[in-house]
Structure 1
């Protein structure tokens, strides 16, 4: 017989976690937060610094680090220094070969480069409070070099790849992200609008248009256009973007918009078939 442990009914007959489950989830969250401390500029961090930045006792810090090392997510260097572990490389390869969104997007992106004459394309996903490039394609013979390459995060409210995703998030979630962006790094949020009412109106206009075109936001001298990708329940899962070298006219923008929307719809259809 299936037994449910550490679960209690609330006053409405639903289920809720008891204190031990809540504490366990909080502990796991803080343990995984250690991974966020590492960056290109900071590849090696001491156990003491990790504990201090996460406000953890010494014993808890080493227990979490031991667990992450055993999982291969961290690698211990010497007595008390740590870096990201080799298991991440394995997971990255697995994502490249089998991720449903990348698999659904690769062929349509290549076809669009061939038929539309665009220089490059980017596939992006929404991750917590930023947008991450997960795949890119460059047209054979193109001389451009995409600086916002795979694995590089985009600010939530800067650039077409991010804005088209933000426009399709639930209104409460995007408001929370906007207010946080204002508090932490106001530049990109204020570029969307000086206050929430202004930002909401612009996001509504973006959603109604269906795509976003911008100049010099992917990188200097480049025009970018982005459209949303949805899952089978019409939830936003990411965006696909085209990049073109010289600035385009309004008429060319409309053509790019139609092309990127067709590409996004094709990816959405292929994704739905893959995941049912």
Structure 2
């Protein structure tokens, strides 16, 4: 053995670094200069130039004034394709919109994405607070109804891996300080068929969510509502939870009808 990485390993590392450049573009830092991208990449100038040119050719980066770069129009095209073809979005959006209209609360549709939950659809209620949760935003798995109801339906091997890596965060989220209490908390959510949380991401906001599955009962995401606590008093939450679970059943039926193109559960969890 030479001790040098194989060509396949070097190629994978190079591809990961190139795609990793896309992660630096955010709403707070939407434009990056070439020099800043070179510093961030940790690669040579010539290598980073090659990455940037490849991303530009693919339409994933586009040049703007001042020698800077921003995300490119190809991403908009890909987003359109996702809206029409992603099983969770295509199957879950109509029930989510009906749920929002029937309850008068903000509807949310979420997808399991590695160790996070991403909002892939929202129907904001009139007067909903800014930054509640909207398409493209991500949140951790351990807080909020939309996340916890997904977490509760992950297979045991993924839960064990998550608990081993994130024990302190799980305990801080009130999900259990040890494996048995963690399991018991998640079992209670599964038995209820939904999850209700209060003020976990935004003060004064209640969330109610139910899980979404593919035809093989692999958890894909969640559907739910978010509302000011004053607009969802305790006496109404049972009925709201029933409506959320009904919307989830409708979405799961629509997702199952899309087989064999329906999504597989996320594998990179834990």
Query: Which TM-score band (shorter chain)?
Result: 0.7 to 0.9
1:270 to 254, 260, 263: 254
Contact 2:95 2:250 in 1 (8 A): yes
Name the CA shift for 1:35/1:206 in 2 (closer, same or farther; >3 Å). same
The TM-score normalised by the length of structure 1 is: 0.79
Contact 1:215 1:247 in 2 (8 A): no
2:198 to 215, 223, 232: 215
Name the CA shift for 1:233/1:71 in 2 (closer, same or farther; >3 Å). same
2:33 to 41, 46, 51: 46
Q: Which residue of 2 aligns with 1:132?
A: 118
Name the CA shift for 1:194/1:46 in 2 (closer, same or farther; >3 Å). farther
What does 1:115-264 align with in structure 2 at a 5 Å threshold? 115=102, 117-138=103-124, 142-145=126-129, 147-178=132-163, 180-181=165-166, 186=169, 190-193=172-175, 195-197=177-179, 198-217=181-200, 219-245=202-228, 246=230, 248=232, 250-264=234-248
> Structure 1: which 5+ runs fail to align?
1-17
1:64 to 51, 54, 57: 51
The TM-score normalised by the length of structure 2 is: 0.81
Q: Highest relative contact order (Cα 8 Å, sep 6+), 1 or 2?
A: 2
Q: How many residue pairs are counted as aligned between the two chains?
A: 253
CA-based RMSD of the aligned residues comes to 2.7
Q: 2: distance between equivalents of 1:226 and 1:130?
A: 16
> Structure 2: which 5+ runs fail to align?
261-270
Q: What is the CA-CA distance between 1:143 and the residue it aligns to?
A: 3.4
Q: Could you report, residue by residue, the CA deviation over 1:149-191 in whole angstroms, capped at 9, with x for unpaired residues?
A: 22221222111111111122233434444555568xx4x7621
Q: Describe the SS at the equivalent of 1:274.
A: coil
Q: What is the CA-CA distance between 1:100 and the residue it aligns to?
A: 2.8
Q: 2: distance between equivalents of 1:174 and 1:84?
A: 35
Query: Is 230-239 or 205-214 further displaced after alignment?
Result: 205-214
Q: 2: distance between equivalents of 1:52 and 1:190?
A: 35
